[in-house]
Structure 1
Amino acid sequence: MSTPSAAVQRLRLRTELRRARSQAGLTQRQVATTMEWSPSKLIRIEAGEVAVTVNDLKALLAEYGVTDRRRTESLLELARGSRKMPFSEYRDVFSKEFLSFLALESSASIIRGFHFFVIPGLFQTEEYIRALIARTGQGGSPERLDRLVEARLARQEVLEGDDGPELFMVLDESVVRRQVGGPGVMRPQLERLAELASHPRVTIRILPFSVGAHQGLRGPFTLFEFSEDGMPDSVYLENPRGESYASNAPEVTGKYLEAYWELEDLAVGDDMEPVLRRIAAGLSEGSGDLAPVTAEPDD
């Protein structure tokens, strides 16, 4: 049996620590006071934002009255295994919230998502990434831009091999119509998307404009499912301002899973490769979708 990823082990550990504190009838503030920690330290440990040292974990378990040797050793192993989180080397360019997203993404067995702003990061070409970051003002220095591109391309390694996650993505039609970087960038991006549409672990569907108003207008979201026993599903939400929210509460993940099924039913998904190639072929240098509408009338 393969060893669970560091992200999965940290998620398990935070769940177990919350349960142990609840069973002990203690609040976060009470525990922080007894441990002589700032309340934020315990909050971050229970949120999975930071690792907990073995010594701190032993002290916590003693405070919670956890004395069972087998349970204690299991939790200590989780602490040891969760130290090295994926993509932690990119702390200089990513927020802690997005690093948590990357941890979920790299550990999930099934990923479902709805997108209506841009192509999902796992599917973006390098040229598209650079154009998107430059246009949205996220790049900053050339060095930071290179780091962001490097990290996004590194994420795409989950598409390689046979043991990566299954990906189910519903894209609003605007995603494939919006010419990020112009036709010269968008055409190869759409060709890449067409290639991925025939990938054995990737399913791409497009939600046409003709659907009108729909559940996804509340914002894009990503759902993660895990093969490990006891790992709850998680959902990650992000809006255009960069604010994000993640939850593994069943009432939240359940609501978004229902929304995903509804969007998937409304979307077009049969034989998407030729559809995407036709959209790519329809792009012409120097003109956009509104060109016929905005062109000056002939005299």
Structure 2
Amino acid sequence: MARGKHIPTVASTRLAAELRSQREKLGMSQEAVAERMGWAESKLYRIENDKSRVLVRDVRRMLGLYETEQAQADAIIELARVAGEPDWWHQYSGAIPEWFQVYVALETSASHVLGYDSELVPGIMQTERYARAIMMTAPGRGPDEEIEDQLKVRVSRQARLTGTNPLNLWAVLNESVIRRKVGGPDVMREQVERLVEIAQLRTVTLQVLPFEVGEHSAMHGSFTILQFPPAHDPDKVYLEQQIGGIYTQKMQEVERYRLLFDDLRARALGPGETIAMLRSTITELT
């Protein structure tokens, strides 16, 4: 890694969004702010897009220029103080690719995640044995130590479901996800039992799209919609592939996936019916 390279964190992403929001609220252009600050316009662009570090003293000057109320300014300055501290997953950065580190950062700062999965249980709901079975199928997989680090990241992500600020998760799973015996019957039974537990959390809605639905609008594959608190990042759609992830935040494309998700959850089994199917599957696997 190059010396001095800026590594985005959840705090730095929030800081960038807050600074951009404060400028826009005052109706100032980037050009005008850069001129008042004595900067090149490209520097402000990089700060507002979380592409470079920003000093606390510069944040103070910017907030003074934006006439930000003191209580809000204090909160933003505190963000600036912690923005350079590495997030928890950076200790495993050698084991997970950079494109997926971006997703983990987005998931950590998201308020809501809506997703459809056609082949496997989403990572945030996987048991360790289920996750290990999937990772062992990867061609050209890394050494065992790397897989162990990947498992630690996957397990640590699940804290967002039960923490003090839990993620609001709405997941639709194709029936094939719970029918495919990943890792064998014992591993799969444990995984389905975990799904039953998670489905009963206050901030989680879980549905199964049954085979009997037949053809449906998401037969092209899985997708995830990430939504963020007001004044933070715009909503994003994430599509995962073997060699990388694709993101889009274009309004018309995000809206297309929202409509797609609405169609899926309308056609899927309700939460109660889903839990009943999961419990029936557990019996079959026993």
TM-score over 0.5 for the pair: yes
CA RMSD between the two structures: 3.5
CA distance in 2, matches of 1:265, 1:277: 22
2:245 pairs with 1:248 = no
CA distance in 2, matches of 1:215, 1:120: 20
**Structure 2 counterpart of 1:217:** 219
Note closer, same or farther for the CA distance 1:239–1:9 as it changes in structure 2 (3 Å cut). Answer: closer
Measured after TM superposition, the shift of residue 76 of structure 1 is 6.3
Measured after TM superposition, the shift of residue 54 of structure 1 is 1.7
2:29 pairs with 1:23 = yes
Letter in 1 for 2:113: I
CA distance in 2, matches of 1:131, 1:166: 27
Note closer, same or farther for the CA distance 1:11–1:99 as it changes in structure 2 (3 Å cut). Answer: farther
Measured after TM superposition, the shift of residue 183 of structure 1 is 1.4
Note closer, same or farther for the CA distance 1:92–1:57 as it changes in structure 2 (3 Å cut). Answer: farther
CA distance in 2, matches of 1:168, 1:213: 22
Note closer, same or farther for the CA distance 1:230–1:236 as it changes in structure 2 (3 Å cut). Answer: same
2:136 pairs with 1:131 = no
Tell me the SS of whatever aligns to 1:87: helix
Tell me the SS of whatever aligns to 2:246: strand
Q: Deviations over 1:227-271 (max 9, x none)?
A: 3x3224422322432331223333232221111111110111241
Measured after TM superposition, the shift of residue 51 of structure 1 is 4.5
Say whether the 8 Å CA contact 1:53–1:79 is kept in structure 2.
Answer: yes
**Structure 2 counterpart of 1:276:** 278
CA distance in 1, matches of 2:202, 2:16: 28
Measured after TM superposition, the shift of residue 86 of structure 1 is 4.7
Note closer, same or farther for the CA distance 1:213–1:249 as it changes in structure 2 (3 Å cut). Answer: same
Runs (5+) with no aligned partner, structure 1: 27-33, 285-299
Tell me the SS of whatever aligns to 1:206: strand
Letter in 2 for 1:269: G
Note closer, same or farther for the CA distance 1:108–1:257 as it changes in structure 2 (3 Å cut). Answer: same
Letter in 2 for 1:209: F
**Structure 2 counterpart of 1:186:** 188
Q: Aligned residues, how many? A: 262
Between the two proteins, what is the percent identity of the paired residues? 29
**Structure 2 counterpart of 1:260:** 261
Note closer, same or farther for the CA distance 1:176–1:90 as it changes in structure 2 (3 Å cut). Answer: same
Measured after TM superposition, the shift of residue 185 of structure 1 is 1.1
Measured after TM superposition, the shift of residue 109 of structure 1 is 2.1
Note closer, same or farther for the CA distance 1:43–1:129 as it changes in structure 2 (3 Å cut). Answer: farther
Runs (5+) with no aligned partner, structure 2: 1-9, 33-38
Tell me the SS of whatever aligns to 1:171: strand
CA distance in 2, matches of 1:67, 1:220: 45
Tell me the SS of whatever aligns to 1:216: coil
Q: Which of 88, 91, 99 is matched with 1:89 structurally?
A: 91
**Structure 1 counterpart of 2:3:** none
**Structure 2 counterpart of 1:106:** 108
The two structures have a TM-score, normalised by structure 2, of 0.76
2:213 pairs with 1:197 = no
CA distance in 2, matches of 1:130, 1:89: 20
Say whether the 8 Å CA contact 1:7–1:107 is kept in structure 2.
Answer: no
**Structure 2 counterpart of 1:9:** 14
Measured after TM superposition, the shift of residue 68 of structure 1 is 1.5
Say whether the 8 Å CA contact 2:173–2:208 is kept in structure 1.
Answer: yes
**Structure 2 counterpart of 1:149:** 151
CA distance in 2, matches of 1:94, 1:11: 25
Note closer, same or farther for the CA distance 1:69–1:258 as it changes in structure 2 (3 Å cut). Answer: closer
Measured after TM superposition, the shift of residue 212 of structure 1 is 2.8
Letter in 1 for 2:127: T
Note closer, same or farther for the CA distance 1:24–1:270 as it changes in structure 2 (3 Å cut). Answer: closer
The two structures have a TM-score, normalised by structure 1, of 0.73
Measured after TM superposition, the shift of residue 144 of structure 1 is 0.3
Note closer, same or farther for the CA distance 1:203–1:68 as it changes in structure 2 (3 Å cut). Answer: same
Say whether the 8 Å CA contact 2:121–2:177 is kept in structure 1.
Answer: yes
